[in-house]
Amino acid sequence: MHRRGWLFSGILVSAIFGSLLAVPLIAQQLPSRSGGIVDSTFAEVHFDRWITEGPTKQLPWNLEIDSPRLSSYQRIAAQVRLNISSREFLRRPGAGRLKAFVQITSQQGRVFQSHLSLDPDKQKNLAPDSEVQFYWGIFLLPGEYRLDIALADTTTGEHNFVQRTLRVKPLKQDPLPGAWNGLPEVEFFGTEGDFEKAYLPDVETALNLGIAAAHPVDLHILVNVAVPERASVFGLSPVSTSNADFMRSLGDLLPLVKILGQLHLARGTSGIELIDATRHRVVYAQNDFQTVDWHGMKTALGAVNPNIIDVKSLQQRGLSAAFVRDRVLALLHSSAAASAGRAQVVILLSHEMDFSRSAKLPPVTLPANCNCRIFYLRLRPVYLLGYRDDIGKSLNGLDPRIFSVNSSKSARKALAAIIAEISRM
């Protein structure tokens, strides 16, 4: 069975092993006048009648609803999984014959609907003893919600229907109390594609993360996408990584990349640069953006081959920490406005990296007369505990603020501290 767990009390997107997954068909949902989301398929199957008739079970299924919790995207999320056996699915052939439905009603009476159907072209990939899963990821604001969930065979008319209550508690002592202002009460997500599962490009609503500094700010987001050695499969050589390791690493990084791209400066510019510290190269760069170019970033990430490292990079492995520091300094020096009273900020996002036999770095200081600040978001997932951090050491002399991030809560606290400090520049 396909499973989605929680990373850092957030969403961990894992691979599908022999299963068929259906995700929300966002294109078939339209805003309603009441502020909810209406899916026309609900009327076609007379969903309201099922609600009136009450709970029923005419099809074999297994329904799982995870408790809402703070996700890696800094929004409270719940997951609904509806599973049926592949044998049951294969007994009911036909494009879109089996459909699953979730209707969520808020305390204010707004209704949000989403239905799923399976792609018949993927039936050939279905393992005989696996399960078919209908999956919804759901972002929710604090409140109480009624969930109406159904599975239907649209040919025979058989259906299951259940009703549940979902309570979403507000965060205690929230360091970002206004971050959800303007967001919808309910937002479905569930994207196919390895990179999309981590970044959620179909979720276009943004957190309210405004920064009003005294001076114009040039914000540089620097992301190291190199896979930590300890993230490799145990037993392999230290520099050996796989596509699975790379995707796990991106699963940690990309939610924070999405959030950092939503930092809104009242005055200033934002740029983003992705680097590979192991191979000493810039993977992607976007300057002065209003919105991160996901398609461009995805293309660049797709060209990364974590299974291959060139001889030169291996020979110069001890210089990897120096490469990261040089990129930080290059971003601070790159702006001609550095001497024109503009504040310069670099936010470095990376896993802890252990560059064995790192060369000793010469001392370095920040540029003279630079209103500069360096923040380092150091990811410390469970599989890196006890790891040394050569990237943090490379920043010695630059007076960085270092935040160890090992949960969604710690990431939220770090973001609040960074926003507050930039606002004071």
pLDDT in tens, 91-102: 888 778 899 999
Spatial contact of 246 and 298, defined as CB atoms under 8 Å apart = no
Query: Burial level of 290, CB count in 10 A (0-12/13-18/19+)?
Result: exposed
What lies within 8 Å, CB to CB, of 227 at 6+ separation is: 241, 245, 246, 249, 278, 306, 351
Backbone angles phi, psi at 179, to 5 degrees: -65, -25
Q: How high is the pLDDT of residue 126?
A: 73
**Over residues 331-335, mean pLDDT:** 78
Is the pLDDT reported for residue 20 higher than 60? no
**Over residues 20-49, mean pLDDT:** 72
Instruction: Please state the pTM of the whole predicted model.
Output: 0.87
Lowest mean per-residue pLDDT among 39-43, 187-191, 344-348: 187-191
Q: How high is the pLDDT of residue 96?
A: 82
**Over residues 110-123, mean pLDDT:** 81
**Over residues 130-135, mean pLDDT:** 88
pLDDT in tens, 310-319: 545 544 555 7
Strand partners, 373: 345
Is the pLDDT reported for residue 366 higher than 90? no
Is the pLDDT reported for residue 245 higher than 80? yes
Of residues 354, 291, 288, 349, the one with CA closest to residue 317 = 354
pLDDT band at 9 (very low <50, low <70, confident <90, very high): very low
Q: Which helix (H) or strand (E) holds 254?
A: helix 243-260
* Structural domains of the chain, with CATH: 5-193 (no CATH), 209-423 (3.40.50)
What lies within 8 Å, CB to CB, of 96 at 6+ separation is: 117, 118, 120, 154
**Over residues 257-269, mean pLDDT:** 96
- Its sign, for the CA torsion 13, 16, 17, 22, is positive
- Cα gap 19→133, rounded to integer Å: 7
3-state secondary structure 110-164: CEEEEEEECCHHHHHHCCCCCEEEEEEEEEECCEEEEEEEEEEECCCCCEEEEEE
Q: Please tell me which of 29-38, 113-122, 228-237 the model is most confident about, judged by mean pLDDT.
A: 113-122
Lowest mean per-residue pLDDT among 190-199, 304-313, 337-346, 372-381: 304-313
- Cα gap 33→322, rounded to integer Å: 56
Lowest mean per-residue pLDDT among 108-112, 256-260, 277-281, 388-392: 388-392
- Its sign, for the CA torsion 8, 13, 17, 20, is positive
Is the pLDDT reported for residue 407 higher than 90? yes
Cβ atoms within 10 Å, residue 393: 14
**Over residues 36-40, mean pLDDT:** 91
Max Cα–Cα distance, the chain, nearest Å? 76
pLDDT band at 21 (very low <50, low <70, confident <90, very high): low
Q: How high is the pLDDT of residue 25?
A: 45
Quote the Cα angle for 61-3-140, to 5°.
Answer: 85
Spatial contact of 59 and 160, defined as CB atoms under 8 Å apart = yes
